[in-house]
Structure 1
């Protein structure tokens, strides 16, 4: 009787298909990023390029693994117990991508928390520990070469790496949620943007953590098939797409909360018909313009009996709410406090 290959080779094929699909999504997001944000910070461009390259290498390794299992050993059913070196390298690449993503979020949390090392320190430690466990796991896979032997000897090792990854996800998501909620102050569009970012943060952290936990559950419950491996193929893809989605959604925030929402304040110097300035009892006109209509004029006169002359110098000031959606969302906090300041008119200079 032939063994059931659905939970072994079938799971590998399914995981490969999902991984390739997510890699295609990442490639499209990378294209959008460089088209929408050509003037973005060089550090972000380097990060996006690095993530795309490592993800491409990861995808090639996944496809190579499936090729070896299904094509090279087409009639060899005993191959389901063998661990190819490409599987070990996939473990390493997953850890490298995870480290890159956690470093990005850890750096942002470090800035939002005002350099709180008590919070970002554990994130750095867990991220580095995750990489160390992954390299150790990969070395043991290459030496044991069979799934049954690896499962019997190093189950705790592989589980520890995935568990550390899940714990890091939880800490990062909770920290992002906490510090983003503290930004809900000041101007209303800023609060709306923060609400949108918070929702995305919760969903994003929940998704990556769920995938990791699912891989752990399948590994502990079904260590002798490849269901856990098929899920494991997709872990790095969710991490990579998370970063690109975080960067690209800035454009959506910009269009969602700044379209047709200019807030302007228009002021000018009052002059007479021959171009001379206003004198003692001739008071200027203050103009407050709305976003879509013509200015409304209000004239006020006041006697000046002590010989002084008041001149109202009025300037046109336009504050675009679009500035609340900066190129770097790390500036959101400072912009929020700045936008909450009131503007008084008119300004008076006494001569």
Structure 2
């Protein structure tokens, strides 16, 4: 691997700095969640706390990785070929945060659609991504040089990113499909609410998928530099903020459509003609 500062430690530094900024966004979203969502079940609050703790651990590991490569190993570019142990923990944390985020959205999909097959398929894809990531973690703890890892296991990394992107798109497209069918059967006020939810789903999926695609392209076309590693630093931040944004988005909907959401008799129901189930009131947590 030829040593070029801009595409090695430069790309890594930019990735860590942007990821650190996004960690600040994560902290702000966590504070907002615990301030506004006091009525959420305890397990949801534990989920948010776990995501924040994992994101904090990722920030610490990222800073250690950057410090090691730019300070401790200064003047020894050959040491860049073997990432420090902190990079292995970054991979592990990435897999854990991604699994929590995808599990949350799959649960939302099943709660809303009651479709076992689609939710199950998304669950299988999410489990495959998690399994691939854990396999990469185990391999990385062997402290293999990057060229050796890329030569022998590039397909595993590429497969993980591809499966992750497919999972995200499958979840959001399925959710939007059911929301759109439901939208056609509701009153005008409810259609505005559903439009907001659909837009939120597309936005969260867009950013996670965009980062995944950029990571895949850079890894396949430039595996010998650190640009893909810099982008990889952003992936868990995007996962965490997508989850927290969806949770906090409920409060915004409640403020904008409070009367409709808080009143089960306001006409917000699932229609059996669309879903094959009994008509029943739908509350905010069923939507998002």
Question: Which residue pairs with 2:159 in the alignment?
Answer: 160
Q: Aligned equivalents of 2:142 and 2:192: distance in 1? A: 53
Question: Which residue pairs with 2:44 in the alignment?
Answer: 44
Q: Aligned equivalents of 2:270 and 2:49: distance in 1? A: 28
1:4 matched to 2:4? The reply is: yes
CA contact (8 A) 2:81 2:147 kept: yes
Name the CA shift for 1:186/1:64 in 2 (closer, same or farther; >3 Å): same
Q: Aligned equivalents of 1:54 and 1:171: distance in 2? A: 25
Q: Aligned equivalents of 2:62 and 2:236: distance in 1? A: 12
Unaligned runs of 5+ in 2: 272-278, 283-288
Which structure has greater helix proportion?
Answer: 2
Question: Which residue pairs with 2:252 in the alignment?
Answer: 252
Q: Aligned equivalents of 1:321 and 1:337: distance in 2? A: 15
1:323 matched to 2:262? The reply is: yes
Which structure has greater strand proportion?
Answer: 1
Matches within 5 A, 1:1-351: 3-114=3-114, 116-184=115-183, 185-258=185-258, 320-323=259-262, 333=269, 338=281
CA contact (8 A) 1:84 1:142 kept: no
CA contact (8 A) 2:168 2:208 kept: yes
CA contact (8 A) 1:144 1:150 kept: no
TM-score by length of 1: 0.73
Q: Aligned equivalents of 1:11 and 1:128: distance in 2? A: 30
Name the CA shift for 1:228/1:188 in 2 (closer, same or farther; >3 Å): same
Q: Aligned equivalents of 2:38 and 2:182: distance in 1? A: 27
Q: Aligned equivalents of 2:7 and 2:263: distance in 1? A: 50
Shift of 1:179: 1.6
CA contact (8 A) 1:110 1:117 kept: yes
Shift of 1:215: 0.4
Deviations 1:227-273 (A, max 9, x none): 00100010011111011111111222223334xxxxxxxxxxxxxxx
Shift of 1:182: 2.5
Name the CA shift for 1:67/1:181 in 2 (closer, same or farther; >3 Å): same
CA contact (8 A) 2:129 2:163 kept: yes
Deviations 1:89-142 (A, max 9, x none): 21111111111011101111111121x221111111111111211121122223
- Structure with the greater relative contact order (CA < 8 A, sep ≥ 6): 1 or 2? 2
Deviations 1:131-187 (A, max 9, x none): 211121122223252111111111111111111111111111111111221231333
CA contact (8 A) 2:182 2:270 kept: no
Residues matched between the structures, number:
270
Say which SS state the counterpart of residue 145 (structure 1) adopts: coil
Q: Aligned equivalents of 1:99 and 1:3: distance in 2? A: 35
Shift of 1:58: 1.1
CA contact (8 A) 1:151 1:223 kept: yes
